[in-house]
Amino acid sequence: WHLGTLSPTFSGKGAQRHPERNYMTPSMAGFDEWFSTEYAVATWDPYLRKNAHGRFDPRALYWHNGKCITDGAQQGLTGCDSRMIMDRAIPFIEQSVASGRPFLTVIWFHAPHQPVVGGPPYLAQYAQYPENQRHYYAVITALDDQVGRLTRKLESLGVARQTMIWFCSDNGPEGNPGPKGRSQGSAGPLRGRKRSLYEGGIRVPAFVTWPAAIEPGRRTSVPAVTSDLFPTVADVLGIASPAKDDRPYDGISLRPLFEQRMERRPLPIGFQYRGDMAVVDNRFKLVHHTNLKRHRSDNGKVPVATWELYDVTDDRSESANVAAEHPEEVRRLRKILEEWRRSCQRSSERNG
């Protein structure tokens, strides 16, 4: 869930999450039906004590519409975690279709987040690999099965053509500065991994399917971000967003991209993590460091500088800092980044 604790008195991450102050369930955010955890759980048999993510406590596992499921095994919450999630999503979709109601379903899989635990039928498919890779590949295959299950269900219900599906990862692969233990993900040639503002930490696989409006197999080089989902869906539904002065939005509607009317992103994308910031435009990306010590998640060789500029069109691996060659781009993107940071600060202060 990651948008608050599911109990006003408990967080599986400890008292530092201040559950009394950060309590907010999906129903408090507008969801009619929800089945969720506060944070990641094991990808197979999450109710087994040996698979706990940290200390074992049922309150850190699944909740359904505000009630903690303490007896998960007795309620059938065994085996594949990705299947458990889809088992709850599909009945909601079926009921919505049967009643003629449009639906929004948000499905957050835990895989392949730690604890990475592959199930026997999936492990058997990768018997030729070392154990850590077997588990990692197994949980991704299990997730993939459930995505296929979803698409088949939409087709059988006769709503696949008009249903928009968004799929993406949340960040780069775990493990610093490379694969470690069962965290066997790869960022390919990209620099950095999870917790990094270089491309390996923030550029992730993604696709959108909408058979009624998007031609299958299309690819785009236009940058996009999850902040674009809300403006895009609102645009498609014809819902006017509140004035940006009252509630600024970082994202844009991607509808023009779907309709092949967008070749460049009109608004850069900002990122911030523990004091460091980055802004991504169509060609250039500016990275700002407050500390010149190289982070563990940065597996690059370029010297760390306060301001770094990369041409991510021709240099996706961020192997050459071109700030000295393009000072005007540094000034332009720095101005955009600083205004974005101030906007985030104002939003934070307004929300308490």
Contacts of 277 (CB under 8 A, 6+ apart): 197, 270, 271, 287, 288, 337, 341
> How many Å from the N-terminal Cα to the C-terminal Cα in the chain?
20
Which domains are present in the chain? 15-258 (3.40.720.10), 269-351 (3.30.1120.10)
How much is the pLDDT for 248? Answer: 76
The percentage of the chain sitting over the pLDDT mark of 70, rounded to a whole number, equals 98
- Kindly write down the DSSP assignment for every residue of 3-36, as one continuous string: SSBSSSS--TT-GGG-HHHHB--TGGGT-SS-EE
How much is the pLDDT for 244? Answer: 62
Q: Closest Cα to residue 58, out of 50, 47, 43?
A: 47
Identify whether the C-beta of residue 199 lies closer than 8 Å to the C-beta of residue 316: yes
Interatomic CA distance for residues 246 and 174, integer angstroms: 37
Neighbouring-strand partners of residue 201: none
- Kindly write down the DSSP assignment for every residue of 135-184, as one continuous string: HHHHHHHHHHHHHHHHHHHHHHTT-TTT--EEEE-SSS-SSSSS-BTTB-
pLDDT tens for 68-91 read: 999 999 999 999 999 999 999 999
How much is the pLDDT for 347? Answer: 82
How much is the pLDDT for 23? Answer: 96
Contacts of 81 (CB under 8 A, 6+ apart): 41, 42, 43, 44, 46, 109, 110, 111
Identify whether the C-beta of residue 288 lies closer than 8 Å to the C-beta of residue 309: no
- For residue 279, the one-letter residue type is V
Neighbouring-strand partners of residue 271: 278
Residue with tokens 């379903």: 105
What's the alpha-carbon Rg for the chain, to the nearest Å?
A: 21
pLDDT tens for 244-294 read: 666 778 899 999 999 999 999 999 999 999 889 999 999 999 999 999 999
Identify whether the C-beta of residue 276 lies closer than 8 Å to the C-beta of residue 308: no
Could you tell me the pTM of the whole model? Answer: 0.93
Q: Is 213 exposed, middle or buried (0-12, 13-18, 19+ CB in 10 A)?
A: middle
Length, in residues, of the chain: 352
State both tokens at 94: 């079926």
How much is the pLDDT for 329? Answer: 98
Query: In the chain, which residues have pLDDT < 70?
Result: 243-246, 351-352
- For residue 9, the one-letter residue type is T
